[in-house]
Chain A
Amino acid sequence: MNRPAGAPAAVDLAHLGFDQGAHLLVQRVLSGLRPGEPLEVTGNHPALVTHLRAWCRGRGHLVQPGGDRDTPVRAVIVRGPAGLDRWAGARRAGGPSPHEIVRNPEPGWGLAARGALVEDGAPAPGFDLAERDLVWADIAPKLYAHAASAQWDPAVAVPWDAAFELPAAVEEAVVQVMTYLVENEQAALVVPARLLARIHPHFREVVQLLAVQAADEARHVEVFTRRALLKTGRLGTSSAGGRASLTTLLAEPDFALASFLLSVLGEGSFLNLLAFLERHAPDPVTRTVVRLAHQDEARHVAFGVAHLQHQASVDPGLRGRLRGAVERRHDVLRDTAGLNQDVLDSLVVLAAGSWDPAAVARGHAQVGELLTTMDHARQRLLIRLGFPADEAAELSALHTRNFM
């Protein structure tokens, strides 16, 4: 503020009234004054003094008369102490850049933007996933940016109007596989959606990434449903064993273990399944929907692996817990059928492409190869997480027969 040394601070409101924002000009000058310092106010709004008094009263500032009629000063504000203490204990909630996240953000920062100056005293919303090493991966911001740029529109990305007719049995196989994919994608939607609501917003790139992941799954549910209904208008079967397997995913409250079971082992296996379906897709619509889903799932797997690599680097006990999670899930599912037999048969039909016995044998062999490919891929992911090769092979074998 430029004013002669010793002269009191002054603000001229001209014609501006307090009902039109005059307080902004007053507040701006007051914020530079210390308690007890005066501020001379001039202006010609008819209600200036009345409104100035009312405004100052609410904020703990005193108002004195402006002097005699010859001076233009309508009132003098004496700055009160109020408002200063409000920010006395305020702290920056880390910094806006991903490099400025803190290990343990305060619960009371709650929904504040990372890097904001946070007044203390608000209730803590209770985000229980509030430690950096429990949720973070350095690749999260990059993956989020990629995910946001890779969003596709189901209405235009899929050639829904492409002309094709399939033999009834092949169409039925497609419908069955799509029906199976939908229920798996619904689990894959619910799990990150539940987790993201528990993550401290300080780790916003992880929250954003999981939000896009949930949105990805929402689109997958849509396109798989739409392909299933495209020709026959009805869906296939849903087995109790398949749903039992998926339900165990929903029941896992631990972020690392849920990520491991869903994003690494489940979606990791799904990458192979979707690639298999793209290769054997009997029509352009099926081929496109599984290809689009494959792109998205690869990103989900990348984050799951990156996060667990980060966590394993700081938590030597993590691998033991991951192993325990696989074993527990295996035990729970021991007496269930696992993959719906209708789904398995449909995969064979799609790979065979006809009812010729030789073709069926070829299809059967290719599904067998798929299972082997999935197993090898899971083992590679487990080795990336630091498991020795023999343990990786053992754990991969315990993975659910339902793939996800």
Chain B
Amino acid sequence: MTLLMGAVAYDPKTVTIWTGFRSWLTTHGLPFDFVLYSHYERQVEDLVAGRIHAAWNSPLAWIRAGRLAAAEGVRLHPVVARDTDRDLRSVVVVRSEAPYHRPGDLKGESVAVGAVDSPQATLIPLSLLRSEGLRPGDDIEILGHDVGVGLHGDHVGGERDAVRALMSGRAAAACLLDANHLLFGKEGTLPPGSTRILAETAPYDHCVMAVNDSAPASITERFGELLLGMSPDDPEVRRLFDLEGLNVWVHGRTEGFAALEAAVGEVGFYDAAGRVTAEGYRP
């Protein structure tokens, strides 16, 4: 039986990546095929409905899949994740010379965020600000940057626009992933020394390979074993890892999604049954 996996086409390179994985997995004895989705919501619905066996999920997709699955009486489990998806942090940055020294100082100001469905640039950092007593919409104005809505923040454009809003003075602070703060500094979007980190979230996890437990265990277990066994000693694997941005696959875990779970609850992004309830969210 062929294992069918869903992935979201957030970039044309996803075709190269998953075609490469398909070739590698097939060569190693696992019949494998993939379906590309234009956004995560349909992929999650298909995973829970059993139309695909596995899904390369964003953390937000994992949260929704879990809620949908619980409502439907379906069981899912995380098989693998990229090592680079563990222990990410988001940062809230301000211009270096700005008179803000703690999150509470942003009261009454505008805060630039990424896309409405971005865990790292919107949902999790706003949850942090909320915990600091700042109610989005009331105490702070939120400047959203909806690039690639439905891609759950995979498109870096929203975060780049958020820091541009910060640098142009339209926003007093910007929320983004720690690695993108570094990236924007290196690429020159943020001149060296131009920003200061005002707050940083606790570590959280990002993408995860989710499997529907109703899929035949013989193929889903083999899928996990093969991925975990991929070694960058193999030049073909190295090429795929470079494209997909990992050093090694690690076992999937769920504890790194607690912060996002809380954030989703705070804003009612999905309801308890996994229905999309976020205002104005149109993937």
Q: What is A's interface to B at a CB cutoff of 8 Å?
A: 17-20, 46-47, 50-51, 53-55, 57-60, 80-82, 85-86, 88-89, 119-121
Contact = CB atoms under 8 A, between A and B. Distances in A.
A80 B87 CA distance: 16
Most-contacted residue by chain A among B185, B196, B238, B247 (CB, 10 A): B247
A168 B245 CA distance: 74
B232 interface: yes
B220 to A, nearest CB: 26
Given A19-B185, A54-B181, 17 more contacts: A17-B185, A19-B182, A19-B186, A19-B192, A20-B185, A20-B192, A47-B197, A50-B200, A51-B185, A57-B84, A57-B88, A60-B248, A85-B233, A85-B238, A89-B235, A121-B235, A121-B239
A51 B178 contact: yes
A46 B232 contact: no
Given A19-B186, A19-B190, A60-B83, A53 B178 contact: yes
A54 B196 contact: no
Nearest to B239: A121
A322 B84 CA distance: 60
Interface residues of B, number: 30
Contacts of B197: 46-47, 50
Contacts of A51: 178, 181-182, 185
A65 to B, nearest CB: 12
Given A85-B231, A120-B235, A121-B238, A47 B181 contact: yes
Contacts, number: 73
Contacts of A20: 185, 192
A18 B180 CA distance: 12
Given A86-B238, A88-B233, A58 B196 contact: no
Nearest to B194: A19
Interface in B128-183: 177-179, 181-182
Contact of B179 (A54, A86, A89): A54
A81 B182 CA distance: 23
A54 B185 CA distance: 13
Interface in B236-252: 236, 238-239, 245, 247-248
Given A46-B196, A47-B197, A50-B200, A82 B248 contact: yes
A20 B187 CA distance: 10
Contacts of A18: 182, 185-186
B86 interface: yes
Given A17-B193, A57-B179, A86 B232 contact: yes
Given A19-B186, A47-B197, A57-B84, A121 B236 contact: yes
A367 B62 CA distance: 88
A85 B84 CA distance: 17
Nearest to B236: A121
B185 A58 contact: no
Contacts of A80: 247
Nearest to A123: B239
A170 to B, nearest CB: 64
A89 B236 CA distance: 12
Contacts of B182: 18-19, 50-51, 54-55
B84 A50 contact: no
B121 interface: no
Contact of B181 (A50, A85, A89, A121): A50
B98 to A, nearest CB: 13
A391 B232 CA distance: 59
B207 to A, nearest CB: 13
A89 B234 CA distance: 9
B22 interface: no
B91 interface: yes
Contacts of B181: 47, 50-51, 54
A195 B245 CA distance: 39
Nearest to B196: A46
B89 interface: yes
Interface string B83-105: 11011110100000000000000
B188 to A, nearest CB: 9
Contacts of A120: 235
A115 to B, nearest CB: 20
A1 to B, nearest CB: 24
A54 B197 CA distance: 14
Contacts of B236: 121
B86 A57 contact: yes
Given A46-B196, A50-B181, A121-B238, A58 B84 contact: yes
A85 B232 contact: yes
Interface in B15-30: none
A305 to B, nearest CB: 41
Q: Which of A46, A47, A60, A80 has the most CB of B within 10 A?
A: A47
A54 B245 CA distance: 13
